[in-house]
Amino acid sequence: MIRIILQVGCTAFVLIAAMGCEKTSNSADNIDLAEREKYLLAGEPEGAEGIVAVRERLQDGETYVLFGRVGGVPDPWSPGKAAFVIADPVALMEIGADGHDCDDGCAFCKKKKAHPSRHLAMVRVVDPDGEVVSIDARKLLNLDVEDMVVVRGKVHQDKLGNLIVHADGVHVRR
């Protein structure tokens, strides 16, 4: 009887201790942690701006710090490469009881309709030679969809108007 009680108690204790466990960097599966440390910033770079804000004042090739949420498209990953799509979380916000009608000549809504991907940016983590790192971003940076990231890098706009960030550092707000 006492043994059973002890076993139950110990099991309960172990389960409770396990409740606090979070995603750890050990989920990397053979990823070279030294590689991760090159690109994953422990501290957040200063001066983060939204994707839409950067787009509005963009000077092609300049360095910016952008915040964004991984996702915005059905599959934001580039398998085998340290590249992923982020979305401006402000553009994705649902406002409670805003009573906003997009047919009332709202400038914000007009801009959004004119360029559906204006709240998106493609992030490419590059090495010092400017080449995209050939490790999947999910492994390199321990990233997941919906993670909020702050990326630092040179920003370009391609011919289609898409924003590309050649990032030398990524910080994950977790």
**Least distance to other proteins from the beta carbon of 36, Å?**
19
**Among residues 51 and 133, whose Cβ is nearest to other proteins?**
51
**Least distance to other proteins from the beta carbon of 30, Å?**
27
**Among residues 6 and 73, whose Cβ is nearest to other proteins?**
6
CB atoms within 10 A of CB 47: 10
Distances in Å between the Cα of 105 and the Cα atoms of 55, 96, 101, 117, 153 are: 22, 20, 9, 20, 35
Exposed e or buried b per residue across 149-172, where buried means at least 16 C-beta atoms within 10 angstroms of its C-beta: bbbbbbbbeeeeeebbbbbbbbbb
**Least distance to other proteins from the beta carbon of 7, Å?**
10
**Where along the sequence are the contacts to other proteins (CB under 8 A)?**
2, 5-6, 8-9, 12-13, 16, 19-20, 22, 44, 47-50, 52-53, 67, 89-91, 93, 95-100, 106, 108, 148, 173-174
**Least distance to other proteins from the beta carbon of 127, Å?**
26
Any bridge partners for residue 65, and if so which?
A: 152
User: What residue type is assigned to position 1 of the chain?
Assistant: M
**Among residues 148 and 164, whose Cβ is nearest to other proteins?**
148
